[in-house]
């Protein structure tokens, strides 16, 4: 009988210690807010809108390249430059592809080769010819494909 009581006491202590460990680990694993006082940061998180989708093996363009608005929109960060180069490569790949452009892609590419001013919306602006800088040969190839 004494052994039975000791067994239940040991099981009870193990359960209590286990529950305590679970609560302590949850308390320390919660993300902490700024300075621990529940303040919300006013800075927006880095956000890169999705630009490409896939249709089988073909990658297509879903939205224009949006860049974060800066005081001087012609001066780009290294990350923005990388995104511009990547977008330019994908536009050129799409216009060189045997798969016809979708109407939505034609509209997006038209906006991307445009030189008309565009307004910024929600802190983003559409990268156009002033930013992407397609060469004359690339523009000729793009315009031929847009007319198909």
The per-residue pLDDT for 36 is 46
Quick: pLDDT tens for 24-37: 555 555 554 444 44
Instruction: Please state the φ and ψ torsions of residue 49, each to the nearest 5 degrees.
Output: -60, 145
The highest-confidence range among 38-42, 79-83, 119-123, by mean pLDDT, is: 79-83
pTM as predicted: 0.60
Burial of 21 (0-12, 13-18, 19+ CB in 10 A): exposed
With cut-offs at 50, 70 and 90, classify the pLDDT of residue 77.
confident
Distance between CA 25 and CA 19 in Å, rounded?
Answer: 10
Residue 39: pLDDT above 60?
Answer: no
Report whether pLDDT(44) > 90.
Answer: no
Q: What is the mean pLDDT of the chain?
A: 74
Share of the chain above pLDDT 70, in %: 57
Determine the pLDDT at residue 60: 78
User: What percentage of residues in the chain have a pLDDT greater than 90?
Assistant: 24
What the block records as the tokens of 35 is 């300075």
pLDDT of residue 16: 67
Stronger pLDDT, 108 or 59, i.e. the higher one: 108
Position 47 pLDDT exceeds 50 = no
Contacts of 109 (CB under 8 A, 6+ apart): 61, 91, 94, 95, 101, 142, 146
């Amino acid at each position: 009988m004494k052994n039975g009581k000791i067994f239940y006491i040991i099981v009870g202590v193990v359960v209590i210690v286990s529950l305590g460990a679970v609560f302590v680990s949850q308390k320390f694993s919660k993300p902490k807010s700024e300075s621990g006082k529940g303040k919300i940061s006013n800075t927006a998180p880095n956000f890169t809108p999705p630009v490409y989708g896939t249709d089988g093996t073909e990658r297509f363009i879903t939205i224009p390249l949006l860049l974060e608005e800066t005081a001087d929109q012609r001066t780009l960060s290294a990350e923005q430059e990388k995104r511009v180069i990547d977008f330019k490569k994908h536009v050129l790949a799409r216009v060189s592809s045997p798969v016809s452009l979708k109407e939505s892609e034609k509209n997006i590419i038209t906006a991307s080769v445009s030189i008309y001013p565009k307004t910024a919306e929600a802190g983003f602006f559409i990268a156009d010819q002033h930013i992407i800088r397609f060469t004359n040969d690339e523009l000729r190839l793009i315009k031929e494909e847009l007319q198909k």
